[in-house]
Every structure is written in C-alpha cells, then in structure tokens.
Homo-oligomer: A and B are copies of this chain.
Amino acid sequence: MSDPRTELAADEAPRAADGRVAGRRGQATRQRLLTATRTAVADSPYRDLTVVDISRRADTSPATFYQYFPDVEAAVLALIDELTDAGGRQLRALVTDAAWESGDAAAGLSQGFLAFFAEHGELLRVADLAALEGDDRFRQLRTRLFNGVFLALKDLAHEARAVGAIDASASPGGIASVLTTMLTQVSSHRRGFESWGVSADELAATMAAVIDATVRGDGRASL
C-alpha cells in the first residue's frame, strides 16, 4: 500500500494522488468530500454508496475525488480514522474516569455509548459490516476505537474476580467482549427498539444493570 492517499498515520498531513502535501484549498476540498461521504452513508443504503454520488454531494467531480482517495472505502476509512483517536479516548474515559465504587459509572457508560452512536451510528454500522465481511482495514480501526473500553472492562472484571465480587470461573476477556458488544449493538439498534416501544432510558438502565451485575457482582462483593 504505497498509495499516498491511503496513509492513515495520525501525524502525517493528508497527501494528494501525486504525493504532494495538500495545501489549504486542497484540504478544504478533501474535507468537503469527507462530509459528503458521511451524509451519503447516512442517507442511502451501503450498496448505493458510489464515487459519483459522493462527488455530486460535494459539488465537485469524480476526478477530484480520486485526487484524494483511491476508492470509496478509503474515504469511509478516513472518516472513521478521524473519529478513532478522540472517540476512542472519550469512550475509554467513560470506564476509566468513572467512580465504580459509587453506582453511577455503569449508567454513565451506557448513556455515553448511546450518545456516541446517536452521532456516529451510521458510519460505525458500515464499518461493522465491512469488518464482519473480513476487511482488515476496518477491523483494525474498530479495534482501535473500542479497544480502550474493552481493556478497561477487562481490568474491571479482573479486579472484581480478584476481590470475589464475581465468580472465580468468569472470564475477564469473555465479559469484556460480551459487554462491549452489548454496548455497541444495543446503541446501534436503538432506533429499532424505540419504534418497538422500548425507550432509550430503559435501554440505558438495563445495560447499566447488566454491567453492574456482570462486573461488580451487583455490589455483593462489599457484603
């Protein structure tokens, strides 16, 4: 992958097709293309996501698109990349910065995920599908995004097991996996549940209870 348009390293400036660092005008165009990609992902089915469509939405031509991205998926990847560093930190903080001794941490975590997916759900849904279908670039980004949460939850489970709050046979990795999946997927399907009569508040509360029960042993450790 020597294509300069695919580089994702965080501290390098985006390059155009010929390898030049993009100037101010170029940056603006690239950004317009990214924004157009985001809207397109949200508006239309994944199967209809095309270079032509994105260019049209960005008020530019396909030729220009190719100055900045080798294909549609690269643009989607860039979009998720934009999200990953700040987003990953933010999500992890929901676990690490919370006071798990008190009872609010799990609720904050659940609400944080719901909020994050309310803003970025469409994008992440596409990444999820691509990852499931075996695309490694997407798999890696997903990992970078949710890994902080995963590890933090694993640590929590570890400690809980150490202090006897949860069963000794519990697997911290399993717990972190299941809880992370629950958080992302319930958040992702939120709209479906709402149209089914289950409110976001109910979802958040239930998830919080599940998390507490799973990772804090429902508080019984202190008994």
Which A residues have a C-beta under 8 Å from some C-beta of B?
18, 45-47, 56, 61, 125, 129-133, 135, 139, 167, 169-171, 173-175, 177-178, 181-182, 184-186, 188-189, 192-193, 196-198, 202-203, 205-207, 209-210, 213-214, 218
Contacts and interface: CB of A to CB of B under 8 A. Distances in A.
A197 B202 CA distance: 32
Nearest to A72: B47
A51 to B, nearest CB: 13
Contacts of A186: 177-178, 181-182
Number of copies of chain A assembled together: 4
A181 B182 contact: yes
Given A139-B192, A181-B186, A133 B45 contact: yes
A174 B188 contact: no
Contacts of A209: 167, 170, 214
B218 A46 contact: no
A61 B175 CA distance: 49
A129 B214 CA distance: 29
Contacts of A196: 177
Nearest to A125: B132
Contacts of A181: 182, 185-186, 189
A80 B209 CA distance: 33
A174 B202 contact: yes
A6 B218 CA distance: 49
B197 A173 contact: yes
Contact of A203 (B46, B178, B185, B207): B178
9 contacts: A18-B56, A125-B129, A170-B205, A170-B209, A177-B186, A178-B203, A178-B210, A185-B185, A206-B214
